[in-house]
Amino acid sequence: MLRGWVCAAITLPRLMPAFVFNRRLRVRLLGVAALCVALGACVSVEVPPLPAGDLPAHWRNAPALGAAPDLTGWWTHFDDPTLDTLVAAALRDNPGVQQARLKVRAARALEDAAMTALKPQLAFKTLEQPNPENTASYFQAGFDASWELGLFGRAGATRHLARADAGAAAAELADARVSLVAEVVREYLGLRAAQRSAALLDAAAQAAQRKAALLKVRERLQLASGLEVAQAAATAATAQARLADPRAAVAQHAQALALLLGKSEPERAWLASAPVPSVTATRIVSVPADLLRTRPDIRYAEAQVVKAAGALGIARADLYPRLALGSSLTFAALVTGHTHLGDVNNSFSIGPIVNIPLFDWGQRRAVRSAREDQLQAAVLAYREAVLKGAAEVETALAALHAAGQRARSTTRAAAAAQRGVVLSGQLQHLGQADGFAVADAQLAATASELDRVHARLAQDLAYVALYKALGGAPLPAPDADTASRSTRP
């Protein structure tokens, strides 16, 4: 590409003693500067309006249940101090969140540094060149100053790019925090549910063994056949074998929790049995437009739109001359005999520096066209992220509603089965039922309770999925470098 470099040495003398300017020349320079500013305003690229009209006014699958949700502390509704402690520790110690936090700090630093490129720059340099005989040397030292004006939209585009990178890093940090909180709650719920399942299956295995023992007694009394005894023994062995799955799940969930908290192994306190936390369904009062503020992927897509607008602004600015102000103050002297310093000469120059692109086979225009298409694609990606976010929330709401219905049904079934255990015990006390009826009632109650535990776990996991889809996570500390900045101009 051919470029025309026009500097003050060509258009005006750079050596201007005592800052004496011709008045007519100054008027011309001011006119040129005003023209450049006007042209710069004409070619600047603004961030296009982002579409949000695809969202419905209200959630279709949001029944009125309970209190309003809290996106910044939704897991506290489980009312489990251990869970609260684990979430706080994970947000502090998780390696992924720590990496995202450092990336935000780096992006903030680069954002501030990017804007300094359009501020006045000052440098000092020296030059020493000996002659071929090495009997003398030429020594030069001086200051160089430059100030690129950032015209034709270049300054605004540079600002867009810097803010977009910082905004994208902040969105990635928010996404890491949202995912981390959801995963910690999921693993903790899975751990407690597996512990409860193991206890229930152990009780079922014991009841099956008692039934098998009673059948052996009846076999000796010739009141039961060998087939019935064999079937009862097989049932007891199967019940004992089913204990392996929840015990393995306990170890898996505990190890997953340790990984989320940045630990190599789980703590022993986690392995101690504890009640399964549960939460009542909450009423969703946020409207779909709230997604634009809470979901990290939508915030990231918005930052990409700003970045694409900045890239287009740079591409358009490259079609026009780059203007800067330059100045230098130089001192030079001839050093002979390595010690004798000759007369010191100095020079001062100041003037505009113009970089005019002349011919590049259409490369700059092709880049501009590509950046325009990329901006349109970024806007469409933002719209897609909005639609995807709304769909995920609607799906999660529907799943939570269905899981709640199942949980209520299994709760009623478990209560009825427990009443059967009580009644069978009373009948046995009155001599109207034997141990087989009691064992069968206990097995039925255990199976119903196991179904209830699984149904409540599914409801709680649907609750977690809903708040993850809503972008629920705790707010960063006020003094941290994680506070999000707006990516809009």
The predicted-structure confidence for 115-152, as pLDDT tens digits, reads as follows 777 778 888 888 877 766 666 677 788 888 877 777 78
Angle between helices 154-220 and 81-93 (to 10 degrees): 140
Q: Name the average pLDDT for the chain.
A: 79
Q: How far apart are CA 276 and CA 193, in angstroms?
A: 6
- The mean pLDDT value for 226-243 works out to 83
348 in any annotated domain? no
- Residue 290's domain comprises 56-120+151-321+360-469
Looking at residue 257, what is its pLDDT? 93
143 in any annotated domain? no
Looking at residue 161, what is its pLDDT? 85
Residue 429 has pLDDT above 90, yes or no: no
300 in any annotated domain? yes
What count of Cα atoms within 13 Å lies in the side-chain half-sphere of residue 93?
15
Residue 189 pLDDT level (bands cut at 50, 70, 90): very high
Looking at residue 71, what is its pLDDT? 76
Q: How far apart are CA 260 and CA 183, in angstroms?
A: 8
Report the percentage of the chain scoring pLDDT > 70: 80
Looking at residue 218, what is its pLDDT? 76
Q: Indicate the SS3 state at residue 94.
A: coil
Residue 488 has pLDDT above 70, yes or no: no
Looking at residue 46, what is its pLDDT? 75
307 in any annotated domain? yes
Tell how far CA 402 is from the center of its chain.
Answer: 29
CATH number at residue 222: 1.20.1600.10
4 in any annotated domain? no
Query: Which range has the worst mean pLDDT, 143-147, 332-336, 479-483?
Result: 479-483
Residue 1 has pLDDT above 70, yes or no: no
Report the percentage of the chain scoring pLDDT > 90: 17
474 in any annotated domain? no
Instruction: Specify which of 27-41, 132-146, 358-372 reaches the highest per-range mean pLDDT.
Output: 358-372
Residue 481 has pLDDT above 50, yes or no: no
47 in any annotated domain? no
Looking at residue 248, what is its pLDDT? 92
Q: How far apart are CA 384 and CA 361, in angstroms?
A: 36
Looking at residue 21, what is its pLDDT? 43
Rounded to the nearest 10°, the torsion over CA 294, 298, 303, 307 is -170
Ordered alpha helix ranges (H), 242-362? 244-260, 268-271, 291-294, 296-317
Q: How far is CA 77 from CA 63, 66, 279, 291, in A?
A: 18, 11, 6, 21
Residue 337 has pLDDT above 80, yes or no: no
Q: Indicate the SS3 state at residue 186.
A: helix
- The count of structural domains within the chain is 1
285 in any annotated domain? yes
Other beta carbons within 10 angstroms of residue 132's beta carbon come to 5
Looking at residue 134, what is its pLDDT? 66
* Side chain identity at residue 90, one-letter code: A
* Side chain identity at residue 74, one-letter code: W
Residue 191 pLDDT level (bands cut at 50, 70, 90): very high
Q: How far apart are CA 465 and CA 189, in angstroms?
A: 13
Instruction: Specify which of 29-38, 114-123, 408-417 reaches the highest per-range mean pLDDT.
Output: 408-417
Angle at alpha carbon of residue 369, lines to 366 and 370, rounded to 5°: 85
**pTM, full prediction:** 0.77
Residue 274 has pLDDT above 80, yes or no: yes
